[in-house]
Amino acid sequence: MRDSLKQLVLTRFREFVREPEALFWTLAFPILLTVGLGIAFRNKPVEIVHVAVVGRPVTAGVVLTSLRASKALAVDSLEPDAAALALRTGRIALVVKAEPDGSVTYEFDDTRPDARSARFLADDAIQRGAGRRDRIAIEETQVRERGSRYIDFVVPGLLGMGLMGNGIWGIGFSIVDARRKRLLKRLMATPMSRTEYLGSFVVSRLVLLVFEVLVLVGFSAVAFGVPVRGSLLQLGLICGLGAFAFGSLGLLIAARPRTIEGASGLMNLTMMPMWILSGVFFSAENFPKVIQPIVQALPLTAVNNALRANMLRGDGLSVIGPEILVIAAWGVVCFVLALKLFRWR
């Protein structure tokens, strides 16, 4: 390693350590986001749905008895006006009207998922109370296994999002800021090549990556039991290639702009589609098949798919080989283009 590259890498570390904001967004923010999502989507008992019964005491009494036999429903008997107010304010999900002729009318907002669930639960309880019997015996087996929870799904996505954000923003912003302050013009007078200067950003990101991955994955495993079923060496390879790809993309974005505003616009334009399409918080398979080739070709999609395959399923390189090739291709192509397009001032 030439001395100039060594000094440049050390400079990147000093810049990072001296920026409290960088430390927060790199290490603390992913932990806080994981805690919030882990608590919001933790394993918990089935929620009780609140419904109200309206009608004359004689007819409503039979309906109340049937509904209260269900353990999934919390049932109140209300006057029509009070029931309408409770439904409008969201205190209850369903109004069950017991008609004089023995029929039942349901009032609910069909755009609310809990209201639709309440409608089917209430109807099932009422029909059973009226004597309906299941013709086929049903048994349930509840399975709660690590790797199938939402927090297990989202942690690899958060890790991939962190790799992208720190690579593009962390590298791209530093270069454009140095160009704006005319520091790059001074560096031109030193015995340093363009490759060494740009390479120092990638090398420093790979070293900092170790702490970034250890903190997020370690905390998730200890606090929420998120599994890491695959090889740790393979996990490191995925993260390293991902950091290289996003770092190279950040170099390419920052190769020409002279203002922070211009670079920020390009960075947001690059990252926004991947935040939405690449399956950070929900599966990328939810998007139409016609755009799936584009979605699967995005670097963040490849990183997230590879991380989930490694951490949740324990798949080897034979399975995630296509994703590895996509990530590596983005890294190499973007780095080469950045070298060709980079300007000092």
pLDDT tens string 16-31: 666 666 566 566 667 7
pLDDT band at 305 (very low <50, low <70, confident <90, very high): very high
* pLDDT band for position 286 (cuts 50, 70, 90): confident
Q: Which two tokens stand for residue 177?
A: 């800021």
Given a contact cutoff of 8 angstroms between Cβ atoms, the answer to whether 313 and 225 are in contact is no
Q: Give the model's pLDDT for residue 1.
A: 46
- Section 255-272 average pLDDT: 86
Angle at 289 between CA 288 and CA 294, to 5 degrees: 95
Q: What is the CATH number of domain 49-129?
A: 3.40.190.10
Outline where DSSP puts E strands in the chain.
49-55, 73-77, 94-98, 104-107
| 62-82: average pLDDT | 89
Contacts of 64 (CB under 8 A, 6+ apart): 53, 75, 77
Cβ pair 326, 241 in contact under 8 A: no
Tell me the pLDDT tens digit for each residue of 162-188: 889 888 887 888 888 888 888 777 777
pLDDT value of position 329 = 96
CA angle 47, 51, 54 (to 5 degrees): 170
Could you state, in order of their start, the residue ranges of all structural domains in the chain? 3-41+146-341, 49-129
Q: Is the confidence at residue 157, as pLDDT, over 50? A: yes
Task: Supply the pLDDT for residue 96.
Answer: 92
User: What was the pLDDT predicted at 41?
Assistant: 59
What is the mean predicted confidence (pLDDT) over 200-208? 79
Percent of the chain with pLDDT over 70: 87
> Which is more confident, 259 or 191?
259
Sheet holding 49-55, edge to edge: 73-77, 49-55, 94-98, 104-107
Residue 12 has pLDDT above 80, yes or no: no
Query: With 80 as the cut, is the pLDDT of residue 38 above it?
Result: no
CA–CA separation, 171 and 326 (whole Å): 21
Report which DSSP code applies to 46.
P
- Of 93, 91, 50, 48, nearest to 71 by C-alpha is 48
Report pLDDT for 89.
82
| Region of poorest pLDDT, from 4-8, 21-25, 110-114, 283-287 | 21-25
- CA 248 – CA 269 distance, rounded (Å): 16
Both tokens assigned to 66: 């049937």
At residue 326, does pLDDT exceed 50? yes
Number of H helices and E strands in the chain, helices first, is 14, 4
